[in-house]
């Protein structure tokens, strides 16, 4: 389908776009600023800038076009099914966006006197109450800014609780299938990390875990449903055994979408769990600045939860508790995770999502997410190895492996082939317990027609991978930049644009991208 080359490099509506520094020099400016009066004084005390600022000088329309053109080369949840497993890339309802943009929420300042932002504090409080009842946990910290940040918050509370009883436990146990953030969090908080093996079903090996428990184990960190897409049926037994051995239980709640409204982690013996609002509660990933990863706590950990938090006073008004006080219930706080109270834009969106679904709607979210994932698993298990298909129904994500691929083809080649079919690839090579893992999460809002289209595309690419079709080796064929050297990009990233050396004058005519220097 290669046509003749075009002089512009554009392909119909697919527009080429150079780097912003290549579009505009750094010596021009896109805005007119009034000349400061000659000899006029300023209050910079001699710190005036003496050199050009070095930013590209584009006008407003040029700037808008540049970023709009780049955005068209992106894949997004608003364009199509986004099968990234573990990440729950779900539709962001437009109602949430409308609510988040109400000026009373969008424009309030974190240092505004609390009596002027009672409504905003009320939103934080009400969302916190929902998270507590949905998880069956008595306390919540709203300030952490992401799942990984929430993990750190939970582990710091666990550390504070252990220190408070003079217990110098050193080891945190994580299953082999854990998300990389779990061991990283434990190590960051000063713990040694040890693996818990999985059994043949893809779940935590209870006997191996129990055998390792002892006076040196501070906590376990277990994802439920786990990253193999399976519910940890022994969770209650695990939690009881860990507690009996004097340890604490951290649950990675990133997969809460599969069980929200159906299972309360508090009933399973969890002491701390983060909730990724951008996964389960439909807020955009990273939209409007940092995300939000509230953490719920058990009775045992509640006294150690971080500041600040919102408290409702007897007269119904809201108060932001900023300082430790002698009062029993927040005297032992481990400190702060962030400067302020958390991400207001995410709180308003998440609460709008919860209230528009209601308790019954949230339960249906989990059921539909699980149904859609099982539809994908059962529709593809004849062409793709499905290592845990024998372990029962999957939860909200389906896990495949690369067994049976021919001609030296790998999961990476299949994923690149999927790009040619117009889909963002699934999560690859995670979890580590499956060779060439492919973790597919459709989420609950995909229609059957959209699932069928994805299944048709993945089935076709999977059949080509099994047949050893070597054209997959050079896929994607239709993406603007073809296949990139991802190892080089990760190991030797070029993050700053440099002016090309003055000697390498651009030849007449439009230089090709590779000829443009300084990248």
Tell me 501's DSSP state.
P
Contact status, residue 45 vs residue 7, Cβ threshold 8 Å: no
Distance CA 414, CA 254 (A): 26
Pairing between β-strand 217-223 and β-strand 171-175 as defined by DSSP bridges: parallel
Residues contacting 220, CB < 8 A, separation 6+: 172, 173, 174, 196, 209, 238, 242, 247, 249, 250
Contact status, residue 408 vs residue 470, Cβ threshold 8 Å: no
Cβ nearer to ligand PLP, comparing 148 with 260: 148
Q: Exactly one of 66, 125, 132, 179 binds ligand PLP (CB under 6 A); which one?
A: 179
Cβ nearer to ligand PLP, comparing 149 with 341: 149
Least Å distance between CB 242 and ligand PLP?
19
Could you say whether residue 147 binds ligand PLP (CB under 6 A)? yes
What number of other Cβ atoms are within 10 A of residue 159's Cβ? Answer: 21
Distance CA 149, CA 49 (A): 38
Fill in the per-residue mask, 291 to 330: x = in contact with ligand PLP (CB under 6 A), - = not in contact: x-x-------------------------------------
Fill in the per-residue mask, 226 to 245: x = in contact with ligand PLP (CB under 6 A), - = not in contact: -x------------------
Q: Exactly one of 100, 248, 254, 414 binds ligand PLP (CB under 6 A); which one?
A: 254
Q: Exactly one of 127, 142, 146, 472 binds ligand PLP (CB under 6 A); which one?
A: 146
Least Å distance between CB 181 and ligand PLP?
5
Could you say whether residue 148 binds ligand PLP (CB under 6 A)? yes
Contact status, residue 282 vs residue 353, Cβ threshold 8 Å: yes
Residue 29 token pair: 């400016």
Q: Exactly one of 17, 22, 252, 397 binds ligand PLP (CB under 6 A); which one?
A: 252
Best CA proximity match to 242, nearest among 288, 196, 200: 196
Cβ nearer to ligand PLP, comparing 56 with 225: 225
Cβ nearer to ligand PLP, comparing 153 with 465: 153
Cβ nearer to ligand PLP, comparing 177 with 379: 177
Cβ nearer to ligand PLP, comparing 86 with 333: 86
Contact status, residue 404 vs residue 466, Cβ threshold 8 Å: yes
Could you say whether residue 145 binds ligand PLP (CB under 6 A)? no
Could you say whether residue 141 binds ligand PLP (CB under 6 A)? no
Residue 399 token pair: 């896990």
Q: At what angle do helices 344-380 and 118-135 cross, to 10 degrees?
A: 30
Instruction: Provide, for the chain, the percentages of residues in helix, strand and coil under a 3-state DSSP scheme, each rounded to the nearest 5.
Output: 35, 10, 55
Binding segment for ligand PLP among 27-35, 143-151, 360-368, 468-476 (CB under 6 A)? 143-151
Q: Specify the 3-state DSSP secondary structure of 104.
A: helix
Distance CA 189, CA 248 (A): 15
Could you say whether residue 87 binds ligand PLP (CB under 6 A)? yes
Cβ nearer to ligand PLP, comparing 292 with 391: 292
Q: Exactly one of 96, 143, 257, 276 binds ligand PLP (CB under 6 A); which one?
A: 276
Distance CA 459, CA 453 (A): 10
Q: Which residue is nearest to ligand PLP (CB)?
A: 147
Could you say whether residue 395 binds ligand PLP (CB under 6 A)? no
Least Å distance between CB 151 and ligand PLP?
7
Contact status, residue 331 vs residue 325, Cβ threshold 8 Å: yes
Cβ nearer to ligand PLP, comparing 87 with 475: 87
199-228: contacts with ligand PLP (CB under 6 A):
223, 227
Residues that bind ligand PLP (CB under 6 A): 86-87, 146-148, 179, 181, 223, 227, 252, 254, 276, 291, 293
């Amino acid at each position: 389908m290669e046509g003749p080359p075009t002089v512009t490099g554009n392909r119909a509506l697919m527009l080429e776009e150079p780097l912003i520094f290549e579009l505009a020099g750094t010596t021009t400016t896109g805005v007119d600023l009034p000349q400061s009066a000659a000899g006029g004084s300023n209050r910079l005390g001699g710190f005036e800038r003496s050199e050009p600022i070095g930013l590209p000088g584009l006008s407003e329309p040029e700037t808008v076009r540049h970023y709009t053109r780049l955005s068209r080369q992106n894949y997004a949840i608003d364009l199509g099914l986004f099968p990234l497993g573990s990440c729950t890339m779900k539709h962001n309802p437009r109602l949430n966006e409308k609510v988040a943009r109400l000026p009373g929420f969008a424009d309030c300042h974190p240092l505004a006197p609390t009596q002027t932002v009672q409504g905003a504090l009320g939103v934080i409080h009400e969302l916190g109450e929902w998270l507590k009842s949905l998880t069956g946990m008595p306390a919540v910290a709203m300030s952490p800014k992401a799942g990984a940040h929430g993990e750190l918050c939970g582990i710091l509370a666990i550390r504070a609780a252990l220190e408070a009883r003079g217990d110098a436990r050193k080891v945190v146990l994580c299953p082999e299938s854990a998300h990389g953030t779990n061991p990283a969090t434990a190590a960051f908080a000063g713990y040694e990390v040890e693996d818990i093996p999985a059994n043949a079903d893809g779940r935590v090996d209870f006997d191996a875990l129990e055998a390792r428990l002892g006076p040196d184990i501070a906590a376990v960190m277990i994802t439920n449903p786990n990253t193999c897409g399976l519910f940890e049926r022994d969770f209650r037994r695990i939690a009881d055994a860990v507690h009996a051995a004097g340890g604490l239980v951290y649950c990675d709640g990133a997969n809460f979408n599969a069980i929200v409204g159906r299972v309360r982690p508090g009933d399973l013996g969890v002491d701390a769990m983060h909730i990724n609002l951008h996964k389960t509660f439909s807020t955009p990933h990273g939209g409007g600045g940092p995300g939000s990863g509230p953490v719920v706590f058990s009775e045992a950990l509640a006294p150690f939860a971080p500041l600040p938090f919102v408290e409702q006073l007897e007269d119904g008004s809201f108060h932001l508790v900023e300082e430790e006080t002698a009062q029993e219930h927040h005297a032992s706080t481990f400190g702060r995770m962030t400067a302020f109270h958390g991400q207001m834009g995410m709180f308003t969106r998440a609460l709008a999502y919860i209230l528009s679904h209601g308790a019954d709607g949230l339960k249906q979210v989990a059921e539909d997410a699980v149904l859609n994932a099982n539809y994908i698993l059962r529709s593809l298990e004849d062409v793709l190895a499905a290592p845990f298909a024998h372990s029962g129904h999957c939860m909200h994500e389906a896990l495949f492996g690369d067994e049976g691929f021919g001609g030296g083809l790998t999961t990476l080649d299949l994923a690149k082939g999927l790009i040619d079919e117009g889909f963002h690839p699934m999560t690859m090579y995670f979890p580590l317990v499956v060779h060439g893992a492919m973790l597919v999460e459709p989420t609950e809002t995909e229609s059957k027609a959209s699932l069928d289209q994805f299944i048709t595309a993945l089935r076709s690419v999977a059949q080509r991978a099994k047949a050893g079709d070597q054209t997959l080796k050079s896929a994607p064929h239709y993406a603007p930049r073809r296949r990139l050297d991802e190892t080089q990009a990760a190991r030797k990233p070029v993050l700053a644009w440099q002016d090309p050396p003055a000697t390498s004058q651009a030849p007449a005519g439009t230089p090709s991208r590779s000829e443009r220097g300084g990248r």
